[in-house]
Amino acid sequence: MSRGRLTAAESAEAFRRLEAEMPGRTATAKGPKDQPDPFRSVVACMLSAQSRDANTALATERLFALADTPDAMLLLGEAAIARAIKPCGLYNMKARNIVRLCGDLTQRLDRNVPATREGLMALPGVGRKCADIVLSFTYGQDVIAVDTHVFRVANRLGLTEARTADETARQLERDAPGFARRDGHFWLIQFGKAVCTARRPQCETCFLADLCRWFAATRGDGEPA
């Protein structure tokens, strides 16, 4: 059953409190998985899908030790890429998409990774989540990228009411107040890691409890009211 969404005023208040309590974008924020350039950022983001952070880090380290440009990846070949990224899972599909991505970049885009959502999502293996993460972290655009933490937090609080990460992203893009768009991803992800955790959310001491639709529905005990 729907728990309802926050009003526009409540949503703005929630983001103001998040701004006050959570760190925002820092000067050292880098691309996904700390990659130093757009190409490696988008590849690392592709590898992170349905993969634990430690496995993604190992896969990216192994792959970029062998090749770190589109041309070098194409020379490496799909089979060698698959072997290198095996720790991250779904490695055959990801290797195939990486080869197709590199083909697009070298043949169609003059080796330039697009800096728009539409351009990124036109690349093989890049969905809305990956595109927004690259836009936010790598290109510094005012985008609230939706990862696992943001998806959970936004829908628990009532900032959004969506069944998928993509729909959550669309609702945040449409409804989040303007002041929250630059750092909103960072506030929400840190809140999700520190307070609104997946298994044991700290509802009783949470600074958003009085606004939170999930807390109202569960009385803070994790069970529906």
Q: Is the pLDDT of residue 225 over 70?
A: no
Is residue 223 domain-resident? no
Q: What does the alpha-carbon distance between residue 86 and residue 144 come to, in Å, rounded to a whole number?
A: 30
3-state secondary structure of 13: helix
In a domain, 108, yes or no: yes
User: Residue 54 maps to which CATH number?
Assistant: 1.10.340.30
Mean pLDDT of the chain: 90
Same structural domain for residues 17 and 38? Answer: no
Question: 155: exposed, middle or buried (C-beta count within 10 Å: 0-12, 13-18, 19+)?
Answer: buried
Residue 167 has pLDDT above 50, yes or no: yes
In a shared domain, residues 40 and 130:
yes
What pLDDT, on the 0 to 100 scale, is given for residue 29?
Answer: 53
Neighbouring residues of 192: CB distance < 8 A, sequence distance ≥ 6: 148, 149, 150, 152, 153, 198
Q: Is the dihedral of CA 16, 21, 24, 26 positive or negative?
A: positive
In total, how many domains does the chain have? 2
| CATH number for position 184 | 1.10.1670.10
Residue 95 lies in a domain: yes
Condensed to tens digits (0 to 9), the pLDDT of residues 3-26 reads: 789 999 999 999 999 999 998 776
- In the listed set 99, 115, 138, which residue is the last one of a domain according to the structure? 138
Is 3 part of any domain?
Answer: no
- Asked whether residue 224 is assigned to any structural domain, the reply reads no
pLDDT number for residue 52: 87
Shared domain check, 59 and 18: no
Domain of residue 18: give its range: 8-25+144-218
Catalytic residues: 129, 147
User: pLDDT confidence of 28, banded at 50, 70, 90?
Assistant: low
In a domain, 169, yes or no: yes
* C-alpha torsion sign, points 199, 49, 128, 41: positive
- pLDDT of res. 82: 97
Residue 24: predicted pLDDT = 77
Domain boundary among 138, 171, 194: 138
Q: For residues 157-182, b (16+ Cβ closer than 10 Å) or e, as one string?
A: bbbbbbeebebbbebbeeebeeebbb
Average pLDDT over residues 33-52: 87
With H, G, I as helix, E, B as strand and everything else as coil, classify residue 124: coil
What is this structure's pTM? 0.83
